[in-house]
């Protein structure tokens, strides 16, 4: 300690005889200025607990503390201030992704307990909670991150409605980096993704232009990134914190950017899968859709010898035979699948379980069996006329288009259904009508009203751009047949689908009728599972749930211990649930083969 | 203000003129013409009052920008003169002889940005940062957060949670 240190405290004494420079005024309030930056306020119902305020604080004055249980899109945490450190810079307010955080203009607060100066605004009630003055982020003035997404280039409707060429172009390097730069790395999205992908981590890899690291992160939870980067239902984007003030991150396109920018011959080296161990155990996988492929991938990494049995000529299941090429080109499917097969996964095409080989036989030949056979049987509306030969199922037509088979296309078509599959067949048929007749004449109708359509909004918008009429809110009554062919569909207005207790119970108004002309009708009201490969005897051992679904446990093991099931047949339907199920099932199968027992299926 | 700006262009070759408001204009001036210009403005043009001197760190360009804002109390106009100087060994001619308060600004700029003004009285004395050993804190390469972490200790009992980790622990702990 120097002499200066000792004397410093006394320097204040030299002013003891001077007049104070401050003015004493015990009678009047001295409110802060209109926009004074005083104590924090937080609208805890608006705040989503993203923690961006904590990250930006240069003084580490903010902690994220539990407030309620997390739900999709809200971590349940809320910021807690430590006024021992806060400098009232208001960076936290300006960056807040929801504008929930503000500062009051209150600046006096006297208490004897220093612990009081740590509090959770909005949760711990304070006198200034209703104070309207103070600092709010000025609107439209500046943003700490770009609230607008980098637009993805789409082919114009005129350029795309005659061909099956991929319509979304993909980001350039500059676009991808600019888009990735918008992410605040809160990770709110990860819980909402069924596969719990490391989203902020791979977005960071894009920002740092480290595609190899990006690819490794993708494959930790998702072995079909080219595919998901194009057609994932991207639930993550619905909760992105950036979406509260602007457009959410284009998470899906960034994933695609990574996969598109690593050439397939580098995959094995980057993912460190050149030499995989072999544990000499064998697993049979039924179906090469997302669930089956995902299970095969993760099992192969663990050293299992997997054989996939695929009923068609090519692998991919619904991804190949259900999703049109303009949304998901075959090259992209092949890139993902070829890599999985290159890990030593064997695949037998045109192999039907129950016909070419029985499940029981698979049990004898393999240590475990996984079935990801999906939902691909079209469901019928059952209305009069629906058994006519010119009334089709969307899934059949989509499969035939992929297989290159000739299908009927007439100049006036009605599609029944409001989901993504309905939009897929609408848009595919629209393209074919355009090729054949030079114009589109197709009406797609659904029970649901416009705002409740189950299809992704962009699918509906793009269908319309391509000339299809989407006319929702109608219940199909009958198909009128003349001379052995349909001439149209009778419908009545459908006002609501569910009753007060949430049961499916459509309420229709029979006085409001409509007739949609069409010489060909396509039904796309959902798909059912095809369990014909399971023998009646075997079915007796399987436990079924209330709606005819096979019961599985958290590891996707059925009540028959060696038989695992996952994908659309259990959960979904969508690709990403299939991938997540396949991954979990792979871990379950590994545990099972190693003799670890789990709780029974329920 | 048009005439005075024209005159500054002719006499001191100022550039990047921006007339921000009716009574406020910004100009850029070369480093070696800055103090002569300010002196001229004060002695000849009625800009007798100094409003402030401040700096901006253009880290990427390797420059500091000094801004001298001066005021003409008669016609109530302001001129802000921008001067770019090299960031490395940043030095600027002192203006302490023009106004009494300049040495205070210069002392502050020395401490906060590390810009030297040789000959300015007391310029090396600490201004508010007694015992400061780090790089000047207003330089943009000063890492405020790192400094906070290393210098201040969290109050006992403080604890934070990462949103993604917390959600995993509550929503899907076994996956
Ligand atoms: S940035 Fe805003 S929304 Fe996010 S945790 Fe902080 S206060 Fe809540
Ligand atoms: S993508 Fe959105 S939700 Fe996900 S980490 Fe980035 S900012 Fe957060």
pLDDT tens readout for residues A37-65? 999 999 999 999 999 999 999 888 999 99
- Distance between the two ends of chain B, CA-based, in angstroms? 70
In the sheet with A442-445, reading across from the earlier edge strand, the strands are: A391-393, A520-523, A413-416, A442-445, A469-470
Q: How far is it, in rounded angstroms, from Cα B52 to Cα A565?
A: 74
Residue A263 has pLDDT above 70, yes or no: yes
CA of A51 to the centre of ligand 1 (A): 6
| Residue A415 within a domain | yes
For residue A590, give the nearest of A226, A389, A221, A303 by alpha carbon.
Answer: A303
Residues above pLDDT 90, as percent of chain A: 79
> A185: Cβ below 6 Å to ligand 2?
yes
Percent of chain A with pLDDT over 70: 95
Residues A427 and A465 in one domain: yes
Same domain for A203 and A124, yes or no, is: no
């211990």: which residue's tokens?
A561
pLDDT at A374 over 80: yes
Nearest CA to CA, how far is A10 from chain B (Å)?
Answer: 16
A40-42 and A101-103 beta bridge pairing: antiparallel
- The Cα–Cα gap between A150 and A180 comes to 9
In 3D space, the residue among A390, A400, A403, A381 whose CA is nearest the CA of residue A524 turns out to be: A381
User: What are phi and psi for residue A352, nearest 5 degrees?
Assistant: -110, 125
**CA-closest candidate to residue B52, choices B75, B76, B81:** B81
Return all residues near A463 (Cβ < 8 A) that are at least 6 apart: A423, A426, A427, A430, A444, A470
Average pLDDT of the residues in A238-265: 96
A488-529 per-position pLDDT tens digit: 999 999 988 888 877 888 888 989 999 999 999 999 998 888
Compute the distance between CA of residue A393 and CA of residue A406 in angstroms, rounded to an integer: 15
Same domain, A126 and A261: no
Q: What is the pLDDT of residue A382?
A: 93
pLDDT in tens, A411-436: 999 999 999 999 999 999 999 999 99
If asked whether residues A288 and A371 sit together in one domain, one would say: yes
Q: Which of A580, A566, A599 is nearest to A197 (CA)?
A: A580
Q: Classify each residue of A284-314 as buried b or exposed e, where b means 16 or more C-beta atoms within 10 Å of its C-beta.
A: bbbbbbbbbbbbbbbbbbbebbbbbbbbbeb
* Domain co-membership, A120 together with A224: no
Helices (H) and strands (E) in chain A — how many of each? 21, 20
**Model confidence band, residue B134 (pLDDT cutoffs 50, 70, 90):** very high
Nearest to A66 among B145, B161, B162 (CB): B161
Question: What CATH code is carried by the domain that includes residue A516?
Answer: 3.50.50.60
Q: What is the mean pLDDT of residues A564-581?
A: 92
Rounded to an integer, what distance in angstroms lies between the CA atom of residue B31 and that of residue B65?
A: 10
- The answer to whether position A481 is within a domain reads yes
What average pLDDT is seen over chain A? Answer: 92
Q: 3-state class of B23 per DSSP?
A: coil
Asked whether residue A251 falls in the same domain as residue A345, the answer is no
User: Which residues have C-beta within 8 Å of that of residue A87, sequence separation ≥ 6?
Assistant: A59, A61
State CA A63 to chain mean position distance.
29
* Domain stops at, among A130, A149, A179: A130
Under a CB-based contact definition with an 8 Å cutoff, are residues A451 and A544 in contact?
no
Report whether pLDDT(B18) > 60: yes
**Which residues, other chains included, contact A454 with Cβ-Cβ below 8 Å and sequence gap of 6+?**
A418, A419, A420, A448
Supply the range of the domain harboring residue A457: 378-527
Please determine, for residue A11, whether its predicted confidence score (pLDDT) is greater than 70: no
Six token digits for residue A180: 């990735």
Question: Average pLDDT for residues A229-251, to the nearest whole number?
Answer: 95
Ligand (nearest to CA of A202) = 2
Q: Is the pLDDT of residue A378 over 60?
A: yes
At A70, phi and psi to the nearest 5? Answer: -70, 150
Contact by Cβ (8 Å): A527, A334: no
Q: Nearest CB to B161: which of A59, A77, A200?
A: A77
**pLDDT exceeds 80 at position A195:** yes
pLDDT over 70 at A6, yes or no: no
Residues A265, A286 within the same domain = no
pLDDT at position A602 over 50 = no
Mean pLDDT calculated for residue range A234-248:
95
The minimum CA-CA distance between A366 and chain B, rounded to whole Å, is 26
C-alpha span between B53 and B101 (Å, rounded): 10
pLDDT digits (tens, 9 = 90+) for A390-417: 999 999 999 999 999 999 999 999 999 9
Residues A520 and A387 in one domain: yes
Q: Residue A218 — left, alpha, or beta (φ > 0 → left; ψ -120 to 50 → alpha)? A: alpha
Q: Is A58 on the interface with B (CB under 8 A)?
A: yes
Residues A334 and A387 in one domain: no
Quick check: A131 and A84 in contact, CB under 8 A?
no
Distance CA A10, CA B130 (A): 16
Return the percent helix, strand and coil in chain A, to nearest 5: 30, 20, 50
Average pLDDT over residues A348-358: 94
CA distances from B157 to A518, B90, B162 (A): 71, 44, 17
Q: Which two three-digit tokens encode residue B80?
A: 């802000």
| Whether the predicted pLDDT of A3 surpasses 70 | no
8 A C-beta contact, residue A486 and residue A480:
yes
Alpha carbon separation from A484 to A94, A394, B136 (Å, rounded):
68, 21, 89
- Pick A324 or B145 by higher pLDDT: A324
DSSP state of A447: S
Predicted confidence (pLDDT) at residue A227 exceeds the cutoff of 90: yes
Spatial CB neighbours of A140, under 8 Å, sequence gap ≥ 6: none
User: Does residue A585 contact residue A564 with C-beta atoms inside 8 Å?
Assistant: yes
The model's pTM is 0.83
* CA A86, A88, A94, A97 torsion-angle sign: positive
Q: Is the pLDDT of residue A20 over 80?
A: no
Looking at the structure, give the CATH architecture of the domain made up of residues B2-133.
2-Layer Sandwich (3.30)
Structural contact between residues B27 and B80, judged by C-beta atoms closer than 8 angstroms: yes
Q: Ligand 1 centroid to A583 CA: how many Å?
A: 33
Is residue A114 scored above 50 in pLDDT? Answer: yes
Residues comprising chain A, all counted:
602
Cβ atoms of residues B134 and B147 within 8 Å: yes
| Domains in chain A, number | 4
The string of pLDDT tens digits covering residues A73-106 is 999 999 999 998 898 999 999 999 999 999 999 9
The rounded distance, in Å, linking the Cα atoms of A137 and A143 is 9
Contacts of A84 in chain B (CB under 8 A): 155
- Residues in chain B closer than 8 A to A65 (CB atoms): 159-161
Contact B163, A185 (CB under 8 A): no
Q: Is the pLDDT of residue A2 over 70?
A: no
Ligand 2 centre to CA of A154 (Å) is 24
A107 shares its domain with A65 = yes
Q: A336-359 burial, b if ≥16 CB within 10 A, otherwise e?
A: bbebbbebebebeeebebeeebeb
Do residues A418 and A510 share a domain?
yes
- Residue nearest ligand 2's atom 8 by CA: A186
Q: What is the mean pLDDT of residues B98-103?
A: 96
Q: Which residues pair with B56 in a beta bridge?
A: B65
Q: Is the previous residue joined to A573 through a cis bond, with omega within 30 degrees of 0?
A: yes
Residue A119 confidence (pLDDT) above 90: yes
d(CA A182, CA A207): 10
> Rounded to whole angstroms, how far apart are CA atoms A15 and B73?
35
Q: Does residue A580 sit within a domain?
A: yes
Least Cα distance to A519 among A492, A491, A484 occurs for A484
Q: Are A298 and A306 in contact (CB under 8 A)?
A: no
- In a mutational test of the A interface, the residue from B125, B163, B175 whose CB has the highest number of chain A CBs within 10 Å is B163
**What is the residue extent of each domain of chain B?**
2-133
Shortest distance, CA B43 to any CA of chain A (angstroms):
34
Distance CA A454, CA A574 (A): 12
Label residue B6 by pLDDT band (50, 70, 90).
Answer: very high
Report residue A586 as tokens.
């792979």
- Whether residue A241 has its Cβ less than 6 Å from ligand 2: yes
Residue A465, C-beta contacts closer than 8 angstroms, at least 6 positions apart: A157
Rg of chain A's alpha carbons, rounded to an integer?
30
A136 falls within a domain = no
Provide CB contacts within 8 A for A20, sequence distance 6+: none
DSSP per position, A315-365 = S-THHHHTS-TTTS-HHHHHHHHHHHHTTT-EEETT--BTTTB-HHHHHHH
Give the model's confidence band at A150: pLDDT under 50 very low, under 70 low, under 90 confident, else very high: very high
Q: What is the pLDDT of residues A172-185, one digit of tens each?
A: 999 999 999 999 99
- Reduced to 3 states (helix: H, G, I; strand: E, B; else coil), residue A31 is coil
* Number of the ligand 1 atom closest to the C-alpha atom of A98: 3
Same-domain pairing of A385 and A473: yes
pLDDT of residue B155: 82
Sequence-distant (6+) residues with CB within 8 A of A448 are: A418, A454, A472, A473, A497
């Amino acid at each position: 300690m120097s002499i200066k240190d000792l004397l410093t405290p006394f320097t204040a004494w030299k002013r003891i005889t001077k007049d104070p420079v401050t003015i004493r005024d015990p009678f009047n309030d001295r409110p802060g200025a209109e926009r004074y930056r005083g104590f924090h306020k937080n609208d805890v119902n608006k705040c989503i607990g993203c923690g961006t305020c904590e990250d930006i604080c240069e003084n580490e004055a903010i902690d994220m503390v539990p407030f309620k249980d997390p739900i999709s899109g809200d971590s349940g945490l809320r910021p807690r201030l430590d006024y021992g450190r806060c400098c009232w810079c208001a960076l936290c307010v300006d960056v807040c992704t929801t504008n929930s955080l503000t500062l009051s203009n209150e600046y006096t607060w006297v208490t004897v307990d220093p612990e009081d100066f740590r509090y959770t605004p909005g949760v711990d009630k304070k006198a200034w909670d209703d104070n309207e003055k103070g600092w709010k982020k000025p609107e439209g003035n500046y943003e700490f991150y770009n609230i607008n997404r980098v637009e993805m280039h789409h082919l114009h409707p005129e350029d795309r409605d005659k061909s099956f060429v991929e319509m979304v172009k993909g980001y350039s390097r500059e676009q991808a980096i600019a888009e990735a730069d918008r992410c605040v790395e809160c990770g709110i999205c990860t819980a909402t993704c069924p596969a719990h992908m490391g989203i902020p981590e791979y977005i960071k890899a894009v920002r740092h232009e480290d595609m190899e690291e990006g690819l490794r992160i993708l494959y930790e939870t998702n072995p079909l990134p080219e595919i998901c980067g194009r057609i994932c239902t991207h639930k993550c984007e619905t909760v992105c914190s950036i979406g509260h003030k602007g457009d959410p991150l284009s998470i899906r396109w960034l994933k695609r950017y990574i996969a598109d920018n690593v050439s397939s011959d580098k995959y094995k080296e980057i993912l460190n899968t050149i030499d995989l161990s072999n544990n000499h155990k064998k697993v049979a996988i039924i179906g090469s859709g997302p669930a089956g492929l995902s299970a095969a991938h993760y099992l192969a990494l663990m050293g299992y010898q997997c054989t996939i049995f695929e009923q068609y000529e090519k692998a991919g299941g619904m991804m190949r035979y259900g999703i049109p090429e303009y949304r998901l080109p075959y090259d992209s499917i092949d890139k993902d699948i070829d890599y999985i097969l290159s890990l030593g996964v064997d695949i037998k095409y045109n192999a039907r379980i129950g016909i070419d080989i029985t499940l029981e036989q698979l049990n004898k030949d393999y240590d475990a069996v996984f079935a990801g056979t999906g939902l691909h049987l079209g469901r019928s509306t059952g209305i009069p006329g629906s058994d006519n030969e010119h009334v089709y199922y969307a899934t059949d037509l989509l499969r035939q288009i992929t297989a290159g088979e000739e299908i009927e296309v007439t100049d006036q078509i009605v599609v029944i259904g409001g989901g993504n599959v309905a939009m897929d067949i609408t848009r595919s048929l629209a393209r074919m009508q355009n090729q054949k007749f030079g114009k589109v004449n197709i009406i797609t109708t659904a029970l649901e009203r416009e705002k409740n359509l189950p299809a992704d909004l962009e699918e509906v918008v793009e269908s319309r751009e391509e000339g299809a009429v989407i006319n929702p809110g109608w219940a199909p009554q009958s198909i009128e047949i003349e001379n052995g062919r349909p001439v149209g569909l009778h419908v009545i207005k459908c006002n609501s689908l569910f009753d007060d207790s949430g049961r499916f119970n459509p309420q229709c108004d029979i006085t409001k009728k409509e007739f949609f002309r069409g010489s060909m009708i396509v039904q796309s009201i959902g798909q059912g599972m095809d369990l014909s490969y399971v023998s009646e005897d075997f079915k007796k051992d399987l436990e079924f749930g209330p709606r005819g679904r096979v019961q599985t446990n958290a590891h996707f093991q059925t009540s028959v211990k060696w038989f695992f099931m996952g994908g659309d047949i259990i959960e979904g339907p969508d690709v990403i649930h299939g991938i997540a199920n396949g991954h979990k099932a792979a871990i379950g199968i590994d545990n099972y083969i190693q003799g670890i027992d789990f709780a029974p299926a329920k | 203000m048009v005439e005075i700006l024209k005159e500054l262009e002719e006499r001191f070759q100022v550039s990047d003129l921006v007339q921000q408001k009716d009574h406020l204009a910004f100009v850029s001036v070369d480093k070696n013409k800055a103090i002569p210009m300010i002196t001229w403005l004060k002695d000849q043009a009625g800009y007798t009052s100094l409003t402030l001197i401040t700096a901006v760190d253009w880290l990427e360009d390797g420059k500091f920008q000094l801004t001298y804002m001066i005021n003409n109390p008669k016609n109530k106009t302001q001129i802000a003169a921008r001067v770019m100087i090299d960031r490395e060994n940043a030095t600027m001619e002192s203006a302490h002889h023009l106004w009494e308060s300049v040495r205070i600004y210069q002392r502050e700029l020395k401490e906060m940005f590390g810009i030297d003004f040789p000959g300015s009285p007391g310029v090396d004395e600490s201004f508010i940062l007694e015992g400061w050993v780090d790089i000047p804190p207003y330089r943009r390469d000063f890492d405020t957060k790192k400094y906070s972490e290393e210098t201040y200790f969290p109050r006992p009992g403080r604890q934070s949670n990462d949103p993604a980790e917390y959600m995993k622990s509550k929503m899907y702990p076994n996956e």
